[in-house]
Structure 1
Amino acid sequence: MCTIASGERKGRGAREMVDIETVQKGGPHTTSNALHGRALAWLRQLNAAVLASVVDASSQRRNLILWPFALILGLIAYRILPFEPDAQALSVFCVLLLIALLALRGIRAARDLAQISLLFGFGAVLLPVHGELFGTNMLEVPRYGTYQAKVDAVIFDDGVQQRWIVSDISGDQDWTVPDVRKARVLVRGDQAIAPGDRISARIRFYPVPAPAVPGGYDAQFVSHFDGIGAYGSVLGDLSVVPAHQSGVMDMVNAARRIIGARLVAQLGDRIGGIATALITGDQSRISEEDYDLMASAGIVHVISISGLHLTLVAGTMFASVRFLLSLSQGWSQRWPIKKIAAVAGIATAFSYMLLSGLVIPAVRSTIMLALVFTAIVAGRQALTMRNVAIATIIIILVQPTSVFRASFQLSFAAVIALIAAHELARRGREERDRPAQGKVITLMIDVGTTSIIAGLATLIFTAYHFQQTAPFGVIGNLMAMPVVSFVMMPAALLGTLLVPLGLEAPAYAVLGWSVEIMLWSAGVVRQMSGGFDSSPILAPSALVVALAALGWMAYCRDRIRLAGPFLAVPLIAVFCLERAPDIFIADQSQALAVRNGADIALMAGRNNTFATTIWSERYMTSISDGHEGTRCDAIGCVLHTEHDYTIALVKDASAFAEDCGIAHIVVSRINAPATCAATATLVIDGADLARYGTHVINWHGPDIAPTVRTGVDNPERRWRLGIQ
């Protein structure tokens, strides 16, 4: 037997040597087979690791973490539908999902899938329900007249002009009154106004504009679900009837005005305006130059009240109360000082939320902090992904349109990434001891790590919404965040608490010095980096890929969670990039722009309008005043471009006969005859612009049809003009 075994071993060794020689001498085909085998083995290992990670997450009851993602996908599905779904059909869909959930409740895997499907269906019906409760009709044509209205909120005030949200609109002639729930109006001058006051003035109301670029900010969508059905401008003088100031919000608004006035009076317009933004959320006094300066250094998030500010203020109160109570041995032994400090943190967070004007990021962060401090009171772990999921679900239920806003996406991504990093670090510490380091070094490492993680997590969303990245943002945060964390926000908290006593001046002086240090740091970083780096133009599908990567990173517990972000980058790079358009056609103005080399030049219309500004920012290109190749007369213009196609702008119907025969692309703000489409490659006329809004076109040559994208991709939805 030993001889046989030895012979078998020798035989196997010989066969292995033959296999090696075959691989070495067998040529490309054999090598390819070997690589193919290794790839299959690696895929099997990856599949096993993914399956094990999913099983582990499910066994740890982390399915709740996927609930907000299911709701968000349902919201997205409803948003991108080309038609308005029937309410009864949506109701039946949800009922069927609920029946399936009840029927499959005994099978765990099927039950979990049914839960996610049910939440997806609930997300799909959430916006229609929200629209029925809080939505409004959309104004179709301008209205002029003298109107009376109630001021609900002052959302902008820079001392030169203000923007108000008004409701309960009435007028002397009922037929001129816009049939909308609320409207946003622009008022010139520094008006003494407060929420609840009633005004009487001549106002011009006009429709809410459609998106200026495909995939851009959709004011009609957001405004409809917020109850804002029209924009307007106050013409001439107005009369104000002050409301009786008695409610909590009236007192809060009065406090906001007092704090802002004292900050500006003590620190000046520039520094006081930034300090006011930190405390009350009012950014109207921040100059565009200072905003761009901080943005280029990657620290513009400091002036927008969000989780950072709520955490610093509430955390400072928590630490201060706990420290003061611990000074007495008797108190620390008789009372649960940590829980008392947590209650103080909750109260501080809610007070700061009210003082900030109830902006959505502050509300979202307050909910999250309340969950964290409540966990401390209950003796549970505070920083968990489940708390993030619960806070997100609450926000989605209260304000479902916030999912489509940049502030929600940025904070959502950053919080998930930071909590995921915290979970990985905690598991790592359980496996090995962390070496002792100095406090300063630890602080710098933590600030830098936090900045890198948050910056990477929000990179896709920043690139999509703002087309900009700050390459030296980590350095900017390393320089500014210690000052913000340990000087600026504690001074802001202390000064605000001392305002009722009139003793805020020293604390606000420290606050002003810290703002100056932050601006100086931003200037240093800007000189180092040279400003912004432009990013690729991302399609909306990039946000869906990023959402899927965040969901995977949030759900899994081990290092396989990092596969989501790593796979998202090549997917976005291959499938989610857009090419800058060759032609831009505005719907609300006369602007028509055509590519001219590396830049864009106007063929018609004025520069520096709303549309041209958005085009320039979105596609990161300059727009010059006139295209040198344009030939115009009284009835139209013609341009033969360097890419060998001709575009005609028809201003009078008499020009269609000639221009439709010579031009590849015909653009007109009047309706074109049906015969024009038979000769021209592409015709965009007044009916198209009225229905689909802004058009952008990519030319691919004479043998391939041009690509046309529009600002309004779903004209039949309830938030579009004329749709009830």
Structure 2
Amino acid sequence: MRRIADTLAAALLAQRGCLFHWSPVCLGIGIGWYFALGKEPGLPLLAGLAGGIVLLVLIAWRCGPVVQPLICALVLIGAGLLLAGWRAQAVSAPVMGWRYYGPVEGRVIGIDRSASDAVRLTLDRVRLDRVAPDRTPAKVRISLHGPEGTTPQPGALVMTTGHLSPPGGPVEPGGFDFQRHSWFLRIGAVGYTRVPLMLLEPPNPRETVVFRWRMGLSRAFQTGLAGETGAFAAAVTAGDRSGMGQETLQALRVSNLAHLLAISGLHMGLLAGFVFMAVRRLLVLSPRAALFWPVKPIAAMAALLVATAYLAMAGGSIATERAYVMAAVALIAVMVLRRAISLRAVALAALIVLLMRPEALLSPGFQMSFAATLALVAVFGGINAKGWRLPGWKGKALALVMSSAVAGAATAPVAAAQFNQIAHYGLLANLLSVPVMGTLVIPSALIAVLAMPFGLQALPLWVMGLGLDWILMIAHWVAGMSGARGMVMAPPSEVLPMLALGALVIALWIGRGRWLGAVPIALAFWLWSAATRPDVLIAESGGIVGVMTPEGRGLSRDRAQSFVASIWLENDGDPVGQETAALRWPAGAIRHETGKRAAAAAGPCASGGVLVLNVPAAEASGARNCRIYDIDSLRQSGSVALFAEADGWREVTAKAVSGDRYWSVPGRIPPLGQQLQKVLESLTSGNAIARVHPPD
């Protein structure tokens, strides 16, 4: 034991100077631990954890250089859990616990498109008929399915008659939890309307200034560039994807170019790099400035200011905030004469993002962004350390190919796990598109924005359009290739954390011990290859059922519940459409009846038979010897997965996997949230209209 302890001590001492790189890793472990809990930790537990952290800090103060890093790791893990718990309480807002139909009033704070290609609005300052303020959601998201009309202006107060319901749970146990996602966005209800909007008040000039400016810029780009080109321009500059067609979006996804839509590290890096280079070149034209002025810090400051304006213009999404933090860390490092690109800078950016939004750890954007950045910094840092360089254009071409290959390899497992697909020709598409984005699109967009006040934007917009047309052409060409997209089965929940741990050990550990990281990576891929899918899947609404057959999953309906059906098929790694999958539906022990009339006609089941209803079980009075899943039981359990075993069916429910969390129980407000709600209610009580609680 003594020898093992000495070996571990020597290994830790060898990491001195590089231990800061592990800070966001430990913080992320604590955050992930919080989200993996089956039950919400109460305030007493969180308070006790905070006291334990303080005690550990005091102990670490008196420990030696070997024990200190271990205690600091424990402190950061505990702090991550505490931080995520506090954040979940701080963002709390009422979640609708019932279905609602009636007047919906609110202020427009977001405009995008739904999966069904309908314009979708996000409203705050919500008012609902006969719903008390303390039970009214802070935000609602509503899709416009009625006659096409004029999209309301940002910040306008509008009213419509719509259907609202609580955010839905995972479409299958262990799947993406939309309830959790909505909780941290403070969206308490989602729905749709089929009637036109009514404008109650125009936008207040003193409110939503940035949002209105951003949407105005989007309209300017869509006016200057017609069709999908203008919509693409609005997406990459103003973060407005509402004009993008589903066909174009699908082509970008299949060709692995969808990352060009998200205003992320690539856009922020290209913009900041262009401004930095341009300002620096302009300054060195003056001999006095070149000799006596701090040219690089001045150029970095200018780039930081432009990046800050870009953050505001792009809407401040999580992806854009993350990209801005990474760019700001690099630029500030240049201003204080430190290395701009290093593992320490990446770690600092990750820490800042996790401290601001702990829930970002679970998002594919965070995972893919930092996976690509870490891989690029580690690989090119190693190459520079060994002095491997090619001069001239050969070196630049090789660097371009290597950067695309390294970033693609780093993000491919995350993309496959999160989106169940592999873009086989993604490297080719990115090699042909990313240079055009950096040399034509981003510079032209910046020049166009600067020229718009003077009416001189036509030429830069034309140049920008050439670049965007090229990218769209490449996207459609690559997406049309045979075998462009490969589908993979959804992995078990342990796979991504194991892949991340192995990759982090390889990238961050100093010495030959780093190659031990290959062990969890190999184990993760083995678990993935051995994964199996549920034999039966039942939707939370009872509206569709999927049964695994030798040909693939058979679906009980060929049109309804298309979103749920598409997710099931994607998770199976099955590229067919819903209509094809419906032809596989087997006649056997699994029966699905929709509507009261069909339920009433349902007869007895065979031994071990399962009957799924989208109405209460009382409607199926003739169904005997059946294992029934009706609308009432499914609302309590969420979606259901059944696995065939020798002694019958093994049941796994979404509720059991998600646990008893704030976001999984509509209407629950945590203690801190209750206090915030009381403050909000007291501030708005003077203007509130008297309303009564809806029936429970």
- 1:317 aligned to 2:275? yes
Deviation at 1:99, TM superposition (A): 0.4
1:106 equivalent to 2:70? Answer: no
C-alpha separation between the residues in 2 aligned to 1:486 and 1:610? Answer: 38
Query: Which stretch of structure 1 is more off in the superposition, 602-611 or 614-623?
Result: 602-611
CA drift of 1:69 comes to 1.6
Contact 1:165 1:184 in 2 (8 A): yes
Q: CA deviation digits over 1:441-495, x for unaligned, max 9? A: 2222111111111111112210111111112222222222221221221112211
What is the aligned partner in structure 1 of residue 637 from structure 2? Answer: 692
- Cα distance in 2 for residues equivalent to 1:277 and 1:599: 37
2:111–2:121: 8 Å Cα contact kept in structure 1? yes
Q: Secondary structure at the match of 1:146?
A: strand
Q: Which is worse superposed, 393-402 or 576-585?
A: 576-585
- Aligned counterpart, 2:368: 410
**Counterparts in 2 of 1:193 and 1:629: CA distance versus 1, 3 Å:** closer
1:3 maps to none
Q: Deviations over 1:524-557 (max 9, x none)?
A: 4345553101224312211111221243244324
Query: Given the superposition, is the C-alpha separation of residues 153 and 298 from structure 1 closer, same or farther in structure 2, using an over 3 Å criterion?
Result: closer
Match of residue 212 from structure 1: 171
1:482 matches 2:435: yes
- Partner in structure 2 of residue 35 of structure 1: none
Aligned with 1:231 (options 168, 187, 190) = 190
C-alpha separation in 2, matches of 1:424 and 1:49: 26
Q: Offset of 1:658 from its aligned partner? A: 3.7
> Structure 1 pair 708/160, CA: closer, same or farther in 2 (3 Å)?
closer
Instruction: Decide whether the 8 Å contact of 2:643 with 2:649 is kept in 1.
Output: no
Q: Provide, for residues 345-378 of structure 1, a one-character-per-residue CA deviation record: whole Å limited to 9, x for no partner.
A: 1001111111111111111111111111111111
In structure 2, the partner of 1:597 is 550
Aligned equivalents of 1:234 and 1:655: distance in 2?
33
Residues 62-86 of structure 1 show CA distances to partners (whole Å, capped at 9, x for unaligned) of: 2222221222211221112111222
Partner residue in 2 for 1:81: 37
Match of 1:96 among 29, 52, 69: 52
Task: Render the CA deviation track for 1:595-646: whole Å, top value 9, x for unaligned.
Answer: 233132233684462211221222232344656776xxxxxxxx33xxxxx3
Q: How far did 1:273 drift? A: 1.0
* Equivalences for residues 39-50 of structure 1 within 5 A: none
Provide the rounded CA distance (Å) in 1 between the counterparts of 2:54 and 2:43.
17
Runs of 4+, deviation exceeding 6 Å: 47-52, 157-160, 650-657, 676-680
Superposition pairs of residues 514-593 of structure 1, within 5 angstroms: 514-526=467-479, 530-558=483-511, 561=514, 563-564=516-517, 566-577=518-529, 578-593=531-546
Q: Could you tell me how far 1:509 is from its partner in structure 2?
A: 0.6
- Confirm or deny that 1:245 pairs with 2:197: no
The answer to whether the 8 A contact 1:317-1:341 is kept is yes
> 2:138, 2:187 within 8 Å by CA — same for their partners in 1?
yes
Matched with 2:686 is none
- Determine if the alignment matches structure 1 residue 663 to structure 2 residue 619: no
1:663 alignment partner, SS class = coil
- Whole-Å separation in 2 of the counterparts to 1:530 and 1:236: 43
1: CA distance, partners of 2:402 / 2:443? 23
What secondary structure, in the 3-state scheme, does the structure 2 residue paired with 1:579 have?
Answer: coil
Partner Cα distance (1:536, 1:589) in 2: 24
Matches within 5 A, 1:464-503: 464-503=417-456
Using the alignment, how far apart are the partners of 2:383 and 2:99 within structure 1?
Answer: 58
Q: 1:271 to 1:704 in 2, by over 3 A?
A: same
Match 1:619 to one of 568, 572, 582: 572
CA-to-aligned-CA distance 1:199-229 (integer Å, 9 cap, x gap): 2332322111111123322111011122111
Q: 2:599, 2:162 → 1: CA distance?
A: 35
**Across the two proteins, how many residue pairs are aligned to each other?**
652
Q: Choose from 99, 102, 125 the match for 1:168.
A: 125
**Is 1:262 paired with 2:220?**
yes
The separation in 2 between residues aligned to 1:712 and 1:139, in whole angstroms, is: 21
Separation (CA, whole Å) in 2 of partners of 1:427 and 1:325: 31
- The 8 Å contact of residues 147 and 172 in structure 1, kept in 2 or not, is answered as yes
State the AA in 2 paired with 1:391: A
List per-residue Cα deviations over 1:626-670 (Å, max 9, x = no partner): 56776xxxxxxxx33xxxxx33457889899942x6235454554
2:542–2:613: 8 Å Cα contact kept in structure 1? no
Matches within 5 A, 1:629-648: 639-640=587-588, 646-648=589-591
Match of 1:11 in 2: none
Q: Secondary structure at the match of 1:699?
A: strand
Normalised by the length of structure 1, the TM-score is 0.83
CA contact (8 A) 1:260 1:280 kept: yes
Q: Distance in 1 between matches of 2:261 and 2:357?
A: 23
Counterpart Cα distance in 2 of 1:125 and 1:605: 46
Q: Which residue of 1 aligns with 2:402?
A: 449
**2:391 pairs with 1:437:** yes
Tell me the distance in 2 between the aligned counterparts of 1:277 and 1:496: 14
- Decide whether the 8 Å contact of 1:152 with 1:165 is kept in 2: yes
CA gap 1:359/1:384 in 2 versus in 1, 3 angstroms:
same
1:428-452 C-alpha deviation (Å, 9 max, x unpaired): 12xxxx454332x222211111111
- Structure 1 residues 157, 607: CA separation in 2 closer, same or farther (over 3 Å shift)? closer
Q: Output the amino acid matched with 1:82.
A: G
Question: Quick one: which of 180, 183, 186 aligns to 2:140?
Answer: 183
Counterpart position of 2:682: none
Tell me, yes or no, if the aligned pair for 2:105 and 2:159 is still in contact at 8 Å. yes
CA-CA distance at 1:146 after TM superposition: 2.3
Q: Distance in 1 between matches of 2:126 and 2:23?
A: 40
TM-score, normalising length from structure 2? 0.86
SS in 2 for 1:458: helix
2:344 paired residue number:
386
Cα distance, 1:241–1:657 mapped onto 2, change above 3 Å: closer
Distance 1:319 1:683 in 2: 67
> Matches of 1:629 and 1:233 in 2, distance apart?
31
Larger RCO (alpha carbons 8 Å, 6+ apart): 2
Identity of aligned residues (%): 25
Residue by residue, what CA displacement relative to the aligned partner does 1:279-329 show, whole Å, maximum 9, x if unpaired? 111122222222222333222212221100001011000000000100111
> What is the aligned partner in structure 2 of residue 509 from structure 1?
462
Equivalent residues of 1:151, 1:197 under 8 A apart: yes
Q: Which structure 1 segments of 5+ residues have no match?
A: 1-43, 631-638, 641-645
8 A Cα contact 2:638 2:654, kept in partner? yes
Taking a change above 3 Å as real, the CA distance of residues 601 and 192 of structure 1, as seen in their structure-2 partners, is closer
In structure 1, how many angstroms separate the alpha carbons of the residues matched to 2:169 and 2:644?
A: 24
Counterpart of 1:30 in structure 2 is none
Measure, in 2, the Cα distance between the counterparts of 1:284 and 1:150.
Answer: 18
Cα distance, 1:50 vs structure 2? 8.9
> Which position in structure 2 is the counterpart of 1:17?
none
Structure 2 unaligned blocks of 5 or more: 670-696
**Conserved 8 A contact 1:148-1:201:** yes
Relative to structure 1, is the Cα distance of residues 482 and 87 closer, same or farther in structure 2, using a 3 angstrom cutoff? same
Give 1:28's aligned residue.
Answer: none
**Partners of 2:113 and 2:481 in 1: how far apart?**
33
Match of 1:41 in 2: none
**Contact residue 672 and residue 685 of structure 1 kept, 8 A:** no
Q: Displacement, 1:195?
A: 3.9
> CA shift at 1:257, angstroms?
3.0
- Give the 3 Å change call, closer, same or farther, for CA 535–605 of structure 1 in structure 2: closer
Q: Contact 2:106–2:123 at 8 Å: present in 1 too?
A: yes
- Following superposition, the deviation at residue 388 of structure 1 comes to 1.5
Matches of 2:527 and 2:494, distance apart in 1: 8
What letter matches 1:149 in structure 2? G
Letter in 1 for 2:206: S
CA contact (8 A) 2:553 2:581 kept: no
2-structure distance, mates of 1:159, 1:229: 21
Distance, in Å, in 1 between the alignment partners of 2:476 and 2:104 is 47
In 2, are the aligned partners of 1:647 and 1:663 still within 8 Å (CA)? no
